[in-house]
Structure 1
Amino acid sequence: MASSSNSLSLGPFGLLGGVGVLVITTAVLLGTFVYFFGNSNNTPITGIPLIGKQEGEKDYTEAKKRWMSSAKEIVNSAVRTRKHPFQVFGMNGPLIIIPPHMTSEVRTDERMTFKSWLKRDFFTTYPGFEGFKPAVDNNVFIDSVRMGLTQSLATVVHSLAEEAKYCYDEAFPPAKDWTPVKFNAIALRFIARLSAQTFMPPELAKNEEWLRISVEYTLHFGHGGYVMRAIPPLLRPIAHWFLPQTKQLREDVETARRIIEPTVIARRKEREADIKAGRKPKKYTDAFAWMDAVTEKTGDICNAVHGQLNYSLGAVHTTSITFTNCMYNIVGSPGSIELLREELIEVLGSAKSWDKTTLNGLKMMDSFMKESNRMHPASFMTMNRIANETITLSDGTIIPKGSALTVPNTRLYDEEFYENPQVFNGRRFYDMRQRAGEESKHQFVTTGDDYLPFGHGKHACPGRFFASNEIKILLAFAIMQYDFKFPEDQGQPPIRAHGLENVTNPEAIMLYKSRTPEVSLDLDHTWR
């Protein structure tokens, strides 16, 4: 495996002093000119209807603000009245919205790629944004998830359950009375710990500095990307050296390198020594090993530090949002905890260990998770692409080369596909699985043209199976060991929309108190 890059500096302007001030001043003046006269971010795509810009507005500033605050409402309204693609103005310029009935055209057309979307929207060529670089440069990262992580799911369930126990012991001390917690932050740490337990070697899995980076880098990544999108493309190569948000990202990557690189170097030396001595090299079961296996097979390279950051970006943020939303929907839905607890008592009471069979038996819980993800997906749009060449769709719409496009999740709230779609019904998918011939359908990890929270087709999220295991285990421990409710003066925390993202309120309070589980959670009888 290739070693990480050298320490990242603040760039060529970091030591310029007064000259640096002159550079910034010049950049600002140039930026003003570019913004009004030459900014491709403010040029709509010819031949595709534009919505979201109101009559009388001279530029697209207000349209972009409107998109950030009301994207879901704008798209839902347009999709109801339009059968053909249209465009809106997002923070990164024009975005073509493909109606859901044309999903299959996007899903099967390899001329539209998710990699190009990541490269453009998450700035993978800029220092600090290397966290998505492995997913863009080649297939090592994606294949390591599909062949390494997914194939290891059955063997990591026990370790996930054991780590979940320690997580709850730390975050939820015994409490006889209702005790307030900010669950959003707790969920982030839980997912970071369970992910590290799987992706990292034992000596790093509980490293507090790494756990902090795996959470904070994800948050900083979002903030940095948001700021960069607001800057005209021509200025980004200069501006990113001076932005506090991107400076923080470079510091995060450097910290990750300092933590990870010694392990990578030690393994390389160990392998070389084993080969020299005629011994079979030691095998490891973590993300380093998965990436190494793909590298050996394909000859492609994946930076170990960037790869681990990519695992964190893919695992921590969206999974913690999904887990938090699920908890909120369960606690806020009367009778749900009792219903899920009944299933857990039955399944865990007869289970021999924490394994794949045990988790597959939690069908009601799976349904609640899927329904929560239907109501509140982490992102309103997940089938995101860039057209790598000019494409003509079946309705005659021409997508110019380099255009960004996406398919919205509007069918999640469409009465044609779901009865009473605006009402949370935790049993919805459980009941659908009772139909003849549909027993294996409608699972949390299942994707389809009418269910896109994980995307669909070749580019569907490959880590969703691991996320499903994490969430089921964490929910099981929560529901069996504690009672929950929301403060009367707060109620269930609403989901806040921020552009395409649905985010939870980090200040929201949930109350808990301890209870005695009806069955033991130590299914393998190995806990200390």
Structure 2
Amino acid sequence: MSTSTLSAILAFGVAVAAYCFLAPANTANVPRIGPKPSFLGNTSKSFFSKHSLQLLEEGYAKYRDGLYSLWTTDMDRVIVSPLFMKDFMSLPRSVVRLTASIRHAGPYTGMDIPAYEEIVYALNKKLEGMQSSQGGFKVAVFPQMIELVTCASARVFVGPELCRNPDWLATATGYTLDVAKVTTDLNRYYRIFHPFIAPFLKSRQQIKTRFTLAKKLLAPLIESRRSKANPPSPDMIQWLVDTATGSDATTDNIVRRMLFLNMAAIHTTAEVLTHNIFELCERSETLQMLREEMLEALPENSSVRLTTLNSDLKKTDSFIKESHRLNPLGFMTFNRHLVAPVRLHNGVTLPANTYISINHYSRQRDPDVYPEPLLFDALRFYRLRQQSGESEQHQFASISSTEPWWGVGKFACPGRQWASAQVKLVLMAVLLGFDIGFPEGQSKKPERVVQAEKLRTSFTQQIILKRRER
């Protein structure tokens, strides 16, 4: 047998084995929207990628309170209504596994929010060498939000030793963007070929380079924290060193976890902030209302405390949540993998190896859920909190079975409070320090683009920052 024939047989065998491993569960008892899975799978040029929004809206219209199968870019899923959340709440995490999560978010501590000072410092440092344009500084919003969130995270994650280190900041930011690039690169190919393609991707090689530099920077800090020569620091790396056991306690694994936590904390928060800034540039009256609330909550020369963020910025919190309601980062949430059969309250049993998701995009635009759902109402959730017994509900970081943006119960994102705090801190630094607006001639935010399960916003849109006196 020739070498080429043997190689062809081997490649076919690997492909068949990969397909058997990745094959979707048998959910024949669940109605389907769109085409059935094929042998090879999907790519970023697939039918779903081009028609994802139409398929999800069709599914919501037909099975709003039920469930249906949908073949997405990376897997076949069962889209479930939030009404089924009660069926999953009693199950252990070993059965309902997270497909992407922050398992080790660490404590959300009661610090004086030194991250706020880091954000102000980073923003002013960024503008030092820039020339003014249209009476201010022209900056691209998303890259700037990435930098500010990275700085805020660095102060809480790696403490004062590294939080302003340019090599660490560049590594944390770059790793986040490289991981997103790997995902984009892989989605061009059928999933069964991903294990063979990934090692050769330039973006994958870049991740390895980032890890090497991250280890060089973090290893001395990890050893210092292990030595306990100094009092424990209230930051993430101290928590990881103190709590990690077994193989998790190795320096390599602590570095990997720190990079993963940065990735989880930075990219999505920066996108949320980007939409917040776009909405404020389009709505000057809302901007002024939030600035007045911030000024009242933060008297001059006072420090930012958790009580400021949690209790004194209710209108700001409502605005953030309304912006996220109408500008979600994707169409689906609660992405989970069932490793054992699960029987639902409607009598349907989902077999092992089923992937589930919730279509929250359509629900957030449902007039039966939100009156006038397409109207941007900055105080929508603020008014709900004014109702008797609701003062602690309807917050951006709240979890609810009817609003499962963050997950629900024990499956909720443990980093949601920190994400909410970061968004408020950055908005305070920007609004109290600057007047903001779109460049001359622009009054509307850029249109978003559908890309499979995601809604992409402009990563190049610029705004004008003009310094202001408090």
TM-score (norm 1): 0.78
Checking the alignment, whether the CA contact within 8 Å between 1:199 and 1:287 is kept in structure 2 is yes
Q: Distance in 2 between matches of 1:249 and 1:363?
A: 40
Establish whether residue 163 from structure 1 lines up as the match of residue 121 from structure 2.
no
Q: Distance in 2 between matches of 1:113 and 1:475?
A: 39
Q: Which runs of 5+ in 1 are unaligned?
A: 1-21, 119-131, 136-140, 275-280, 518-528
Checking the alignment, whether the CA contact within 8 Å between 1:388 and 1:401 is kept in structure 2 is yes
Q: Distance in 2 between matches of 1:235 and 1:492?
A: 39
Please tell me the root mean square deviation across aligned C-alpha atoms, in Å: 3.2
- Which amino acid is 1:411 matched to? R
Match for 1:282 among 220, 226, 231? 231
TM-superposed deviation, 1:198: 0.9
Establish whether residue 399 from structure 1 lines up as the match of residue 399 from structure 2.
no
Q: Deviations over 1:462-506 (max 9, x none)?
A: 111112222112111211222222232473122333332333211
- Which amino acid is 2:283 matched to? S
> How do 1:117-516 residues align onto structure 2 when only pairs under 5 Å count?
117-118=99-100, 142=104, 145-146=105-106, 148=107, 150=108, 152=109, 154-157=110-113, 159-172=114-127, 177-228=135-186, 231=189, 235-268=193-226, 270-271=227-228, 282-295=231-244, 301=249, 303-349=253-299, 352-359=302-309, 360-409=311-360, 410-487=362-439, 488-489=441-442, 491-516=444-469
Q: Deviations over 1:327-347 (max 9, x none)?
A: 111221241111112212322
Checking the alignment, whether the CA contact within 8 Å between 1:374 and 1:453 is kept in structure 2 is no
Checking the alignment, whether the CA contact within 8 Å between 2:222 and 2:241 is kept in structure 1 is no
> How do 1:105-124 residues align onto structure 2 when only pairs under 5 Å count?
105-110=87-92, 115-118=97-100
Q: Deviations over 1:63-103 (max 9, x none)?
A: 97233344343212211212432111122221111123223
What is the count of residue pairs matched by the alignment? 457
Q: Distance in 2 between matches of 1:352 and 1:481?
A: 15
- Which amino acid is 1:306 matched to? R
TM-superposed deviation, 1:202: 2.1
TM-superposed deviation, 1:251: 2.1
TM-superposed deviation, 1:232: 5.3
TM-superposed deviation, 1:304: 1.4
- Which amino acid is 1:495 matched to? R
**Change over 3 Å in CA distance of 1:28–1:72 after alignment to 2:** farther
Q: Distance in 2 between matches of 1:234 and 1:492?
A: 39
Match for 1:101 among 75, 80, 83? 83
Q: More displaced, 165-174 or 415-424?
A: 165-174
Checking the alignment, whether the CA contact within 8 Å between 2:282 and 2:445 is kept in structure 1 is yes
Checking the alignment, whether the CA contact within 8 Å between 2:25 and 2:354 is kept in structure 1 is no
SS at match of 2:298: helix
Q: Distance in 2 between matches of 1:29 and 1:485?
A: 59
Checking the alignment, whether the CA contact within 8 Å between 1:381 and 1:407 is kept in structure 2 is yes
Q: Distance in 2 between matches of 1:66 and 1:490?
A: 35
- Which amino acid is 2:266 matched to? V
Checking the alignment, whether the CA contact within 8 Å between 2:149 and 2:426 is kept in structure 1 is no
Q: Deviations over 1:413-465 (max 9, x none)?
A: 22122111112111111111111221221111111122222222212111111
Q: Deviations over 1:265-284 (max 9, x none)?
A: 3443x34xx6xxxxxx6322
- Which amino acid is 1:513 matched to? K
Tell me the residue number matched to 2:15: 34
Checking the alignment, whether the CA contact within 8 Å between 1:68 and 1:498 is kept in structure 2 is yes
**Change over 3 Å in CA distance of 1:502–1:191 after alignment to 2:** same
TM-score (norm 2): 0.87
- Which amino acid is 1:502 matched to? L
**Change over 3 Å in CA distance of 1:350–1:239 after alignment to 2:** closer
**Change over 3 Å in CA distance of 1:105–1:262 after alignment to 2:** same
SS at match of 2:118: helix
